[in-house]
Chains A and B, each alone.
Chain A
Amino acid sequence: MTQTNLQKDLKIVGTRPLRPDGADKVTGRALFGADKSLPNMLVGRVLRSPHAHAKIISIDTKAAEALPGVKAVITSKDFQDLPSEFVPAGEMMVNFKDMTRNIMAREKVLYEGHTVAAVAAINDAIAEEAMALIKVEYELLPHVMDVEEAEKPNAPLLHDDMITIGVEPAPKKPSNVAKRVEFGFGDLDKGFKEADLIIEKKFSTQPVHQGYIEPHACLASVSEDGQGELWVTTQGPFVVRNFCSKILGMSTSQIRVTASEIGGGFGGKTVIYLEPLALALSRKACRPVKMVMSRQEVLMASGPTSGAKIWVKIGVKKDGRITAGDAVLKFQAGAFQGSPIGPGAMCAFAPYEMTNVRVVGYDIVVNRPKVAAYRAPGGPISEYAVESVMDEIAQKLNLDPLELRLKNAAKEGTQAPYGPKLGPIGMIETLEAAKAHPHYSAPLGPNQGRGVASGFWFNIGGETCTSININEDGTVGLTLGTPDIGGSRASMAMMAAEELGVPMSTIRPIIGDTSSLGFNFLTGGSRVTFSSGMAVVESVREIIVELRKRAAQLWDVSIEKVEWVSGHARLVGSENPKSLSLRELAEAAGKTGGPIVGGASINATGAGPSLATHIVDVEVDPETGRTTVLRYTAIQDAGKAIHPSYVEGQMQGGAVQGIGWALNEEYVYDDNGKLLNPGFLDYRVPVCSDVPMIDTVIVEVPNPKHPYGVRGVGETPIVPPLAAVSNAVSRATNIRFNELPLSPPRVLAAIESR
């Protein structure tokens, strides 16, 4: 799929039509995870561990089961133990042995909030009463919350069979270090010797939650014959089906998953929590079971991203050229292995052309909820550290920070630190656009500072199926397998309409359930516009061949004589060109061979990285340490913006999540490993008055591997803001910061000790 439309005169792609699901979304009609009910439905609730680390000695559910109104109680006894097996979930890997234990604790509880049992009852009050009747006997164990503490030889051990992968020879004793990764090439010693200036710094970040406003929710219904239906808010209905069928010992075809509308995911809904519980309860009770997490449960027990310790060392010549880059990353995995240490390590230096580079990463378990993907998983963390050091270098060498980056910018042909040579990318273009932007030269007042940072994310492709039907009147049905998290139905319909040459309003895109399409990998990895888009284009190109065939049949000519132009089949080269509209061909479908349908099944490859550069101005109150964000500009390479408004939306949303990560978001635990801020009051995401307008500039360096040049854009926007904001605060206060979040007490303490 390399035939691109880069030069064509595009009629729909690149414009800003209304989204097809818009009316439902602005009227409250659209149905999200908790909005569906079924007759005879039960309410499911989860009993969670109050302890950060403990052995489960016994669980007695007899009293709960006997309570009138309780129809099913489940514990680990109701789930088989699965052997270790890694599978992808978004851009991260998950392990079935761990997954079984995360959705329902077996031998131990490993974090406060860890599921210990679940009940289904006729109403919520009885379910809660039942939970109080479940007697769990725990043997408390010491817990560990910090990666550097967890690495120590006498640290409490979470898994007694955890032998670090990636270390040769393999360690003899288990530890909390699940994995070591290493990327890089060149000669570090030589590189650092050549440097005129070396800066070495240690950074620390806290875990942050994806913060989707819609809590996890699902409605499961398993019948007496073992057929299961699952309505669920998820980024990946096919992935949910696979995970659940494995965990429940059901076959894939026995579970049909329908994705509801999704109220935010950002990677956090690429894994399962309630789904296998709801299915298991439903299977036991033979009634539908609805389960919804409270906000407290979401924060206590669904994966945030890692907190981390990062050490970065960069050597440069005095003209700013990087001679060597070295980094060590230690990421919290939470209770089970699988932090985004791989992608984090791969991206750390990826915006730059490196000659000598090494990144070593460690995946370390701690007694916190298991980490899940969060928008460019790992990237914001490692790149925050590198971009902060780059800013310090710019300050010390008195170089413009954008110029410093331009001197070192990765471009087409650069070998990425993780190995392959990069195709065309827009790093230089975003930097030039930043330099030229009026924001960059706007004056600053007292206590104000300007920070810049760049960001890299590779984006993924993956398995994707779509199907397309020409309706009897020539309108078009388009079935996608990737949930619409941010307006992708619009982009898909636009690409289909562009290819077919028909108005977008004649195309109705829907998200199909898992029984209606072949396997689709999840919505994530910035892959939908790229992969589903590619599949849509392929489906349409294929159906155009079929339409030409049908016209050829009607005209009794060979197919080579028929071309497709502006939604019509046209006889090539005659003086009186005959044409048949899509409608006419559809009406004749029965005569020419039957319904006109098509589809595509691909494993999309060739996803192009998206680069960004952000500029932010802040003002820091020197007496209180409080930071105000004054102005923000996000510049990103989209390859080709199918629907510019939704590309801008990704840039703005990611930027504001990054601002929250930089300034205020963090988990606060007490000494017993209990979460003190499991709510939106004290887990502080940005509110409307916290941020200014987020100005955007879309740069387009087409990705030659996509028919329209698309690059995924969803994730990159969250990468630059951490360092951009931190650099701005540093410039405003003349203090280098190396810790996030930059909450007022931290900033004031640094100002006072200056």
Chain B
Amino acid sequence: MEYFAPTQASEATALLKKEGAYVLAGGTDLLVKLKSRMLKPNVVIDLKALPKIKAIEKTTSGWWIGAATPCAEITEHEELTKEWPGVCEALGLIGSTQIQGRASLGGNLCNASPAADSVPAVIAANTICVIATENGEREDLVENIVLSPGVTSLKPGEFILGFKLPRSQGRSGDSYLRLIPRTEMDIAVVGVGVSLSLDKAGNLETIRVCLGAVAPRQVLLPDLQKTCIGKQPSEELVQTLVELARKACSPINDKRGTVDYRTTVAGVLTKRAFKIALERAQAK
């Protein structure tokens, strides 16, 4: 196995086209797979020396979060956590304090686990990925990246440079909740990310709800336009969301949860996450 730490994105994309080449950000997924011999890389490309790949920057148009930024730095960022509490809480739930010192949004996304904690929240937040290609860069919506367990839409040689999060506008709020059997250290049995905004009358202006761990990839609830937009966030609306969430699930039975359990709890967490996002929006 060879190890490289390129300082230019073009070096990295070239190396990544070699056979058996893998990128390394925080290493909290890659090294586990290395140890278990699930992966036998020929080449490991450490991205952490690339410019801006471990940076958090605020501009008027949005936030830049470098793909290899450790979660700990994100959750320590006062302004970002105030603006996007749901996204930051979600990132902050990944693993232990030690894992937080290394794990990144880029890694969590590209590992492509349906149960990844950061993904439902960043999808709900309308995040855009900036992807390094052999010709430069391209952008895509974050919900287009994960295709199925362990599989992303990135082409050979591509990797994520960073994420663009919009500035949160007006009366908006987001949240992420997950169900795990213990209090920490577990992979989510169900995860729900909600991002919404209210108009001056307190009706829903925008809403995105994304479920994790209930299907081969994250599920962004479709058709919320007619059920939610312009409506008061009433108990009936919440109940509608709960039913939509349950209908959208196609989970499996595995060592972490059953089909029935995941479906039921998806509804419960949707309700609870919605209420938190709503409270945050109403407080503004």
Q: Do chains A and B directly touch (beta carbons under 8 Å) in the complex?
A: yes
- A744 beta carbon closer than 8 Å to chain B: yes
- B155 beta carbon closer than 8 Å to chain A: no
Min CB–CB distance B124 → chain A (angstroms)? 21
- A749 beta carbon closer than 8 Å to chain B: yes
- A415 beta carbon closer than 8 Å to chain B: no
Min CB–CB distance B92 → chain A (angstroms)? 14
B-chain residues with CB within 8 Å of residue A628 when the two chains form the complex: 183
Which single residue of chain B is at the shortest CB-CB distance from A743?
B181
Interface residue from A624, A677, A686, A743 paired with B268 (Cβ < 8 Å): A624
User: Do A663 and B187 have beta carbons less than 8 Å apart?
Assistant: no
User: Do A664 and B183 have beta carbons less than 8 Å apart?
Assistant: no
Cα of A676 to Cα of B253 in the assembled complex, Å: 13
Min CB–CB distance B191 → chain A (angstroms)? 13
User: Do A624 and B260 have beta carbons less than 8 Å apart?
Assistant: no
- A224 beta carbon closer than 8 Å to chain B: no
User: Do A686 and B265 have beta carbons less than 8 Å apart?
Assistant: no
Interface residue from B185, B187, B254, B265 paired with A687 (Cβ < 8 Å): B185
- B239 beta carbon closer than 8 Å to chain A: no
User: Do B261 and A684 have beta carbons less than 8 Å apart?
Assistant: no
User: Do B182 and A690 have beta carbons less than 8 Å apart?
Assistant: yes
A663 and B181 in contact, given A623-B268, A682-B255 (Cβ under 8 angstroms)? yes
**Which of A676, A680, A744 has the most chain B CB atoms inside 10 A of its CB?**
A744
Cα of A681 to Cα of B182 in the assembled complex, Å: 11
- B52 beta carbon closer than 8 Å to chain A: no
- B179 beta carbon closer than 8 Å to chain A: yes
User: Do A745 and B261 have beta carbons less than 8 Å apart?
Assistant: yes
Min CB–CB distance B158 → chain A (angstroms)? 29
Interface residue from B36, B181, B257, B264 paired with A752 (Cβ < 8 Å): B264
Cα of A752 to Cα of B179 in the assembled complex, Å: 18
Contact with A along B250-264 (1 / 0, CB 8 A): 000011111011001
User: Do B181 and A687 have beta carbons less than 8 Å apart?
Assistant: no
B-chain residues with CB within 8 Å of residue A687 when the two chains form the complex: 182-185
Min CB–CB distance A742 → chain B (angstroms)? 10
Cα of A690 to Cα of B181 in the assembled complex, Å: 10
- A689 beta carbon closer than 8 Å to chain B: yes
Which single residue of chain A is at the shortest CB-CB distance from B256?
A682
B-chain residues with CB within 8 Å of residue A296 when the two chains form the complex: 36
Cα of A681 to Cα of B255 in the assembled complex, Å: 11
Cα of A677 to Cα of B181 in the assembled complex, Å: 15
A-chain residues with CB within 8 Å of residue B139 when the two chains form the complex: none
Q: Which of A641-677 contact B (CB under 8 A)?
A: 663-664, 668, 676-677
Min CB–CB distance B265 → chain A (angstroms)? 5
Cα of A298 to Cα of B119 in the assembled complex, Å: 33
Number of residues in A with C-beta < 8 Å to the partner? 25
User: Do A689 and B184 have beta carbons less than 8 Å apart?
Assistant: yes
- B186 beta carbon closer than 8 Å to chain A: yes
Interface residue from B182, B187, B261 paired with A686 (Cβ < 8 Å): B182
B-chain residues with CB within 8 Å of residue A623 when the two chains form the complex: 265, 268
Cα of A634 to Cα of B182 in the assembled complex, Å: 22
A-chain residues with CB within 8 Å of residue B36 when the two chains form the complex: 296
Contact with B along A240-267 (1 / 0, CB 8 A): 0000000000000000000000000000
User: Do B185 and A681 have beta carbons less than 8 Å apart?
Assistant: yes
Q: Which of A597-644 contact B (CB under 8 A)?
A: 623-626, 628
Cα of A752 to Cα of B261 in the assembled complex, Å: 11
Interface residue from A676, A680, A690 paired with B255 (Cβ < 8 Å): A676
Min CB–CB distance B33 → chain A (angstroms)? 13
A745 and B258 in contact, given A623-B268, A681-B187, A752-B264 (Cβ under 8 angstroms)? yes
A677 and B179 in contact, given A624-B265, A624-B268 (Cβ under 8 angstroms)? no
A-chain residues with CB within 8 Å of residue B258 when the two chains form the complex: 745
Interface residue from B179, B186, B264, B268 paired with A684 (Cβ < 8 Å): B186
Cα of A153 to Cα of B53 in the assembled complex, Å: 64
A-chain residues with CB within 8 Å of residue B260 when the two chains form the complex: 745, 749
- A748 beta carbon closer than 8 Å to chain B: yes
Q: Which of A717-751 contact B (CB under 8 A)?
A: 743-745, 748-749
Min CB–CB distance A334 → chain B (angstroms)? 20
Interface residue from B181, B184, B254 paired with A744 (Cβ < 8 Å): B181
**Which of B36, B181, B183, B187 has the most chain A CB atoms inside 10 A of its CB?**
B181
Cα of A749 to Cα of B265 in the assembled complex, Å: 11
A-chain residues with CB within 8 Å of residue B268 when the two chains form the complex: 623-624
Cα of A643 to Cα of B189 in the assembled complex, Å: 43
Cα of A676 to Cα of B268 in the assembled complex, Å: 28
Cα of A623 to Cα of B268 in the assembled complex, Å: 7
Which single residue of chain A is at the shortest CB-CB distance from B269?
A624
User: Do A748 and B261 have beta carbons less than 8 Å apart?
Assistant: yes
B-chain residues with CB within 8 Å of residue A680 when the two chains form the complex: 185
B-chain residues with CB within 8 Å of residue A689 when the two chains form the complex: 182-184
Min CB–CB distance B164 → chain A (angstroms)? 32
Which single residue of chain A is at the shortest CB-CB distance from B271?
A623
Cα of A625 to Cα of B257 in the assembled complex, Å: 12
Min CB–CB distance A688 → chain B (angstroms)? 8
User: Do B179 and A744 have beta carbons less than 8 Å apart?
Assistant: yes
User: Do A690 and B183 have beta carbons less than 8 Å apart?
Assistant: yes
User: Do B255 and A684 have beta carbons less than 8 Å apart?
Assistant: no
Which single residue of chain B is at the shortest CB-CB distance from A688?
B184
Q: Which of B24-71 contact A (CB under 8 A)?
A: 36
B-chain residues with CB within 8 Å of residue A684 when the two chains form the complex: 181-182, 185-186
Which single residue of chain A is at the shortest CB-CB distance from B254?
A676
B-chain residues with CB within 8 Å of residue A744 when the two chains form the complex: 179, 181, 189, 261
Min CB–CB distance A126 → chain B (angstroms)? 15
Which single residue of chain B is at the shortest CB-CB distance from A664?
B181
B-chain residues with CB within 8 Å of residue A749 when the two chains form the complex: 260-261
Interface residue from B179, B182, B254 paired with A664 (Cβ < 8 Å): B182
A-chain residues with CB within 8 Å of residue B265 when the two chains form the complex: 623-624, 748
Contact with A along B165-199 (1 / 0, CB 8 A): 00000000000000101111111010000000000
B-chain residues with CB within 8 Å of residue A682 when the two chains form the complex: 187, 255-256
Cα of A748 to Cα of B267 in the assembled complex, Å: 14
Cα of A668 to Cα of B255 in the assembled complex, Å: 6
Min CB–CB distance A660 → chain B (angstroms)? 9
A-chain residues with CB within 8 Å of residue B261 when the two chains form the complex: 625, 744-745, 748-749
User: Do B183 and A624 have beta carbons less than 8 Å apart?
Assistant: no
Min CB–CB distance A562 → chain B (angstroms)? 61
Min CB–CB distance A507 → chain B (angstroms)? 39
Min CB–CB distance A733 → chain B (angstroms)? 16
Cα of A743 to Cα of B257 in the assembled complex, Å: 9
Min CB–CB distance A618 → chain B (angstroms)? 13
Cα of A680 to Cα of B181 in the assembled complex, Å: 14
B-chain residues with CB within 8 Å of residue A624 when the two chains form the complex: 179, 265, 268
Which residue numbers of A lie inside 8 Å of B, CB to CB?
Answer: 296, 623-626, 628, 663-664, 668, 676-677, 680-682, 684, 686-687, 689-690, 743-745, 748-749, 752
29 inter-chain pairs at a CB distance below 8 angstroms, sorted by A residue, are A623-B265, A623-B268, A624-B179, A624-B265, A625-B261, A626-B181, A676-B254, A676-B255, A677-B255, A681-B185, A681-B186, A682-B187, A682-B256, A686-B182, A687-B184, A687-B185, A689-B183, A689-B184, A690-B182, A744-B179, A744-B189, A745-B257, A745-B258, A745-B260, A745-B261, A748-B261, A748-B265, A749-B260, A752-B264
8 A-B pairs with the lowest CB-CB distances in the bound complex, closest first: A745-B261, A689-B183, A668-B255, A623-B268, A676-B255, A690-B183, A690-B182, A745-B258
14 further A-B contacts with Cβ under 8 Å, apart from A623-B268, A681-B185, A748-B261, are A625-B261, A626-B181, A668-B255, A680-B185, A682-B255, A687-B182, A689-B184, A690-B182, A690-B183, A690-B184, A744-B179, A748-B265, A749-B260, A749-B261
Which residue numbers of B lie inside 8 Å of A, CB to CB?
Answer: 36, 179, 181-187, 189, 254-258, 260-261, 264-265, 268
